[in-house]
Amino acid sequence: MLVVFPELHLFGDGTPDQQRTEALQASAEPLDGPRVTGLKEIARELGIWLVPGSVCERGPEGQLFNTSLVLSPEGELAGFYRKIFPWRPFEPYDPGHEFVTVDLAGFGRAGLTICYDAWFPEVTRQLAWMGAEVIINVVKTTTPDRAQELVLARANAITNQVFMVSVNCAGPTGQGRSIVVDPEGRVITEAASADPSVLTAQLDLSAVEQVRSNGTAGLNRMWSQFRPGEPAIELPVYQGRIDPATWSPALRSTRSIS
């Protein structure tokens, strides 16, 4: 079983905006601190994979990171991801710089993102290329653009042929409307409003390979686009390129810690 909570779920609310940065700084702990130690114990006691939202992490050089955690049923920190795209100018976090996938034994490979990351299509694309079958996007959206985020969840699922799990905080703080989407963009389950709710879904991750083999709607196979020997496509915006030889996703190494 995998249990997922929203972004900054443990931080609480009620802090005035003008004091928010100071409060976030004060709450930050290193990953070997008491907060993560306690979360490890909860995961171990319950025997679950746990994504407790994200936490304020004090980095090794004093940075302030918004960090998503994955705790294993054995009570280990199986992986962590530092938000690459803080919501600027409103968030004070230092940006992370590594894409992260985590192998969940008995479940599959998950890619980790946080809130505003979903607005940058390169993030989900990179994680799908790294072999992620499901993207876990923890969210704390308190603003009306949750409507657009629901579109992004489906779009990211469709264009990368992965499951998308977008878990947002409920009211009275957040807009709620968490959603789970399959690799063809179909909504598996969603919260209809901002009211607090618990969503459950059974994900058959073999659907990812099926959709990529058969095509979305039986037609579109984006990961099989290129033929051997075709030239690379230059992408000046990234000072890089799409290389047909390395285009298709594979089960690649992940960053994990113990």
How far apart are alpha carbons 111 and 27 in whole angstroms?
Answer: 26
Q: Please say if 83 is a catalytic residue.
A: yes
Q: Is 149 helix (H, G, I), strand (E, B) or coil?
A: helix
Asked if 98 is an active-site residue, the reply is no
If phi > 0 it is left, if psi is from -120 to 50 it is alpha, else beta; for residue 63 that is beta
Catalytic residue, candidates 40, 56, 91, 115: 115
Q: Which helix (H) or strand (E) holds 242?
A: strand 240-242
7 is catalytic: yes
For residue 101, what are the β-bridge partners? Answer: 111
Active-site residue among 83, 91, 140, 149? 83
Q: How far apart are the C-alpha atoms of 123 and 117, rounded to whole Å?
A: 7
Interacting residues of 187 by C-beta distance below 8 A, sequence separation 6+: 154, 179, 180, 181
Helices 146-160 and 121-129: crossing angle in degrees, nearest 10, is 30
Answer yes or no: are the C-beta atoms of 218 and 67 closer than 8 Å.
no
**CB 169, CB 142: distance < 8 Å:** yes
State how beta strands 108-114 and 101-104 pair. Answer: antiparallel
Return the active site residues.
Answer: 7, 83, 115
